[in-house]
Structure 1
Amino acid sequence: MNIDQYAYRSKLKNINTLLKIYFSFASIFVCLWSKSFVTSIFLLLLMGTLTVFKGQIPSKVFIRLLTLPMVFLVVGILGIAISYSPKQVGFYQAYPIFNGYFGFTIVGVERAIVLFFKALGATSCMYFLILNTPMVALLSAFKKLKVPKLLVELMELMYRFILIFMDTADNIYTAQKSRCGYTNIPSSYRSLGGLASVLFIRSYKRSEEMFRALEARGYNGELNVLEESTERNVYLFVVVTVFLVVLIGINFI
């Protein structure tokens, strides 16, 4: 099941899209602006709670999505936490090497922790938005926000092509697995190589078919789709604004 399917099943999908965009992007700004990683952890937990308990999105989906950027973050923060110095000063743990010391510095570890939770908190804010808002509603909201039409159309076409790419890969993988293509390491490498060699060709053919289908239906460079109307909730807007103001204010204490 792709992200858009979860978004359509979310209990928060009927909340005004502009409000969710405002809440998500403002939270990202606060998360990146704050010097305290406690704010980032709080936003991470808040977005996870809202997505799982209010949106009824499975917790394993939210956690699995967070693990994807976490791998890159761990690699990145190691470069910040680890340092080399000719003097053994300011290290948590240092090892002598080449007439100097190599290890984890106090300042480096602190910066790495702050950066890690900032990135994870900001990512959780974005996941809250995309897991609870269908792509059609997001693109429609971008049009209302006067985002250039060309950019919106490119975003939608790229999104469709990504879905085609993922669906094609899933179909090929399922076909290979049903023929015992991943029973051992040699067969797995062989099947993976076959998947990679065929995937782009089939995806390209399917994308061409999709474009021809669009042209057959009168596509003239603009995609017009129906969206469910959502009411503006002034009360929620006030609550979100007060929450953000309080969160910013706490960082000055």
Structure 2
Amino acid sequence: MALIHPTAIVDPKAEIAEGVEIGPYAVIGPNVKIGAKTQIGAHTVVEGCTTIGQENKIGHFASVGGAPQDMKYRGEPTQLIIGDRNMIREFTTLHTGTIQDQGITKIGNDNWIMAYVHIAHDCVVGNNTIFSNNAQIAGHVHVDDHAILGGMSGVHQFVRIGEHSMIGGASKLVQDLPPYVIASGPIAEPHGLNAEGLKRRGFNPETITALKQAYKLLYKEGLSFEDAKKAIASLADQKQSTEAQTAEKLRIFHDFIAASQRGIAR
């Protein structure tokens, strides 16, 4: 049975799984689905076409599934989908998508989302990310697995953030941040490879060394963007026969920068 505080307002059409806990004065709308053992804190509002997976912990006063802050929005039934085992702390705001994109804002599994974080419409957040206090991402931003956003950082709409990258606190990111790279500053600039983070996540020394080479080719050798892409692709090819894992990570790095539409943070 779900444990629902008597002061909470839960629409009878909402789908509440077993083991869900809903705190005092929370409000749950009619088009909401909440998976087993998820906890909803006091005064939190969950509305819109929102699906929440299992074993999430959502803090007090959060706003989950609110309408997108987009002046083109006309009430279309867009969605917010949240995976499993996410920690979502107090006063966060997570909005549904718009029909100008896929109509879905999506958050994966095992993310740590701290207080006052804003995740706007049509964003796609992967797994195992960290959003520090007051990190804010605008609409249509994609954040890949294991990325870390520092406190009070802001991300421009349509920006992509690569896997295992890191944005420093109080930084403004206006272009794509490649995988494995640390960036910071008033307008975020790259400051090397996230080598310590990669070590902690089990990357072997050979892979880290090769990624440092790729970073230098992109940022330190004075190559044009096109020449840097070719050099990184060649490096991946060289590693394929002896270090398949390293070659795979190099290709992820190459493919990310090759697909960039906004340009790379440089």
TM-score by length of 2: 0.23
TM-score by length of 1: 0.23
More strand by share: 2
More helix by share: 1
